[in-house]
Amino acid sequence: DELCLQYIDNLSYDDRVILIVSGQLGQTLVPQVSPLRQIISIYVYCRNKEINEQWASYYPKVKGVTITLNGLIHQIQSDQAQRRKYQRIDECLTINIFKSNIHKEGQSTLGSNGQFIHFHLLIDCLIRMKIRTNDKEEFINFCKQYYKDNSNELNLIEEFTKNYSSNQAIWWYTRDCFLYRLLNKALRVQNIELLFLLRFIINDIGRQLETNKCLVPIRAYRAQQMSKDEIQILKNSIGEFISINSFFSTSLNYAQARSFLYSSNDNIIDDIEQVFFEINADPRLDKLKAFSKIHSLSYFPEEEEVLFMVGSIFRLDNIECDEEGIWNIRMVLCSEHEHKLETLFQHMKNEFDSGETNILVFGHLLRKMGKLDDAEKYYRRSLNAFSYDDSNKALCYHALGLVADDKGDYESSLIWYNKALEIFLRILKSNDPNIALIHNSIAIIYQHKGNYNLALESYENALAIWKEVFGENDPHVAICLNNISNVYRNEKKYSKALECVEKALVIFQKHLPADHSDLASTYGSIGNIHLCLGHRNQALQYYNLSLKIYEKCHPSQHPDIAITLSNISSVYEDKNEYQQALVYLERASDIYHDLLPSTHPNVIQLEQSIKRVSEKLK
């Protein structure tokens, strides 16, 4: 039973388990696992039905006690057929919330602004990526391996292989089979490899929803189970925008949707609440994610189902608990014009290419999200697609250099950059902006290594090209000025550093949205200079500006956020406020340990800071 408990404990909160136990094991194991959300049903397979029914009656999740194998199989099949009608109620509903006030109390476990925007960028990039002829084959091979011990699913996979076409995407998605489970799980946990394989399905479902979209306003309903913590976060988010990170299944039939709550009552545990969504959707709004009545497209045509596109954005209008203890949530489907991140989203989307995307662009987005291993994987995959003298191959080398830099492997980074520079010097004019890009990146490595003269030389090379091509007031020039400022700061030439970074700030403010990460980086640089000059309050002011932007435009687990938290801790340490300094260091440490190896310079430096500050507290 210890191994069983350990296995269940290691499962994701999103996973669901049907547990079959013997009578003897059940008496000790069931009391321990019954409260877990992952456990949805328990069956006791034993020799003495009467004795085991006595203790089992205290646990609602025990669905049956049986003494025959055929009886056990029949009951599980029957219960599963019934459960299929309301299975989506107990699946985790992954939501990102756009907070107009990022520091509003209660925002934590559900995704915040950074996740909000990056999830939309991720789906947008996948949808715009060219579908290749072997994409379906790669997905099928993955499924066969994943379900290699499940003969029923393997039969369905074989049927899918023979019969799937793009106009059947919703039919397959609504069927109780491997496709629905894999796609929803991939979207919930953002499994990058699986989402990449499934992008043709996401595309096909999106096209079907668009082709068959509703033309008149509707009101739809959905029953759901949610934790008390999730409910509290939603209560603190009334009036805010939320994004559903999956295809969102609802019903036009109020009574049918409501009945699912009562059907699942015996599975409710202490931490779980019953929730009932009421959604108003008007398709006449501009820039709206598609939604459709899918009865004619569904595997279950008798159901009055309305399916909303993945990433649909809603405004949370109200949430209240009724006399039956059910939380009623009213939402309105919103246009992309309505939420305040539209300008930033459009700008970032254009940065990753506004037209058709490819694997290289996909890698850029993953790196921007802080998913370094995933980004490196797709960059390496891209290398094989380009010829020796292709500029895209050089860009791929450069991208691999960026990942190596992010991981603290400066020697490898320099090797990749020089490979890129070699190609560009061979095929491009000497003043091409891409050559400036490589010089700028090489300079950053020299700076990391403390070779400030070489760093400045490379920055000046980049700056000269960018000024010649783009003019004095271009964001590329500002990036370079910001970097040069950091070198001057390292050399303790603070007036020069401040002059450079303030020029960069003026350019960025002219060209970029207010919540762009380059502005956050610049505010951080200004904060660093003020800290060196002993201007602690000004440093803290700029660090907080930087953090506020990063929390809007980055996922919560991102290196830039960790760096900024560490910088803020330095101010508090300088002010002898060691407890506050330690709070920020530990927040930074949580991020680094999720993203970077223990040998990374930033991780080592942070651990030293935690040790130093902890000793000062003694």
The C-alpha atoms of residue 385 and residue 448 are separated, in whole angstroms, by: 32
Task: Please name the CATH architecture into which domain 558-618 falls.
Answer: Alpha Horseshoe (1.25)
The C-alpha atoms of residue 135 and residue 112 are separated, in whole angstroms, by: 32
CATH topology of domain 88-351: Toxin ADP-ribosyltransferase; Chain A, domain 1 (3.90.176)
Least confident of 42-46, 67-71, 317-321, 339-343: 339-343
The C-alpha atoms of residue 602 and residue 491 are separated, in whole angstroms, by: 20
* Average pLDDT score over residue span 37-56: 91
What is the predicted pLDDT for the residue at 420? 97
Helix, coil or strand: residue 580: helix
* Average pLDDT score over residue span 496-517: 95
The C-alpha atoms of residue 177 and residue 430 are separated, in whole angstroms, by: 56
Report residue 614's pLDDT band, with 50, 70 and 90 as the boundaries.
very high
What is the predicted pLDDT for the residue at 16? 79
What is the predicted pLDDT for the residue at 341? 61
Alpha helices in 369-474 (DSSP H): 372-383, 391-406, 410-427, 433-448, 452-470
Residue 552 has pLDDT above 50, yes or no: yes
- Paired tokens of 587: 């927040």
- Mention every residue, 6+ apart, whose C-beta is less than 8 A from residue 106: 232, 233, 235, 236, 237
Kindly report, residue by residue over 222-242, the tens digit of the pLDDT: 999 888 888 998 998 899 888
Domain 358-427 has CATH 3.20.20.20: no
Kindly report, residue by residue over 77-122, the tens digit of the pLDDT: 877 766 655 556 667 788 888 766 544 333 333 445 677 778 888 9
* Average pLDDT score over residue span 374-393: 90
Alpha helices in 164-221 (DSSP H): 169-174, 178-189, 192-197, 199-211
Angle at the Cα of 300 from the Cα atoms of 297 and 301, rounded to 5 degrees: 55
What is the predicted pLDDT for the residue at 89? 61
CB contact at 8 A, 220 and 150? no
**In the chain, what is the straight-line distance between the N-terminal and C-terminal CA atoms, in Å?**
43
The C-alpha atoms of residue 269 and residue 254 are separated, in whole angstroms, by: 25
Kindly report, residue by residue over 154-181, the tens digit of the pLDDT: 999 999 999 999 999 999 999 989 999 9
- CATH 1.25.40.10 range(s) for the chain read 358-427, 431-440+449-553
Kindly report, residue by residue over 53-81, the tens digit of the pLDDT: 999 999 988 999 999 999 999 888 877 76
Pairing type for strands 218-227 and 272-281 reads antiparallel
Percent of the chain with pLDDT over 70: 90
Report residue 292's pLDDT band, with 50, 70 and 90 as the boundaries.
very high
Higher pLDDT among residues 309 and 271, named by residue: 309
Kindly report, residue by residue over 576-596, the tens digit of the pLDDT: 999 999 999 999 999 988 788
Burial label, 344 (beta-carbon count in 10 A; 0-12, 13-18, 19+): buried
What is the predicted pLDDT for the residue at 102? 46
What is the predicted pLDDT for the residue at 235? 92
Least confident of 20-29, 169-178, 257-266, 327-336: 257-266
Least confident of 204-213, 335-344, 458-467: 335-344
Mean pLDDT of all residues in the chain? 89
Superfamily of domain 431-440+449-553: Tetratricopeptide repeat domain (1.25.40.10)
What is the predicted pLDDT for the residue at 88? 60
Residue 570 has pLDDT above 60, yes or no: yes
Helix, coil or strand: residue 78: helix
* Average pLDDT score over residue span 212-230: 92
Report residue 454's pLDDT band, with 50, 70 and 90 as the boundaries.
very high
What is the predicted pLDDT for the residue at 92? 73
The C-alpha atoms of residue 503 and residue 485 are separated, in whole angstroms, by: 10
Residue 371 has pLDDT above 50, yes or no: yes
Kindly report, residue by residue over 397-445, the tens digit of the pLDDT: 999 999 999 999 999 999 999 999 999 999 999 999 999 999 999 999 9
Count the neighbouring beta carbons within 10 Å of the beta carbon of residue 288: 20
Taking only Cα atoms into account, the Rg of the chain, rounded to an integer number of angstroms, comes to: 27
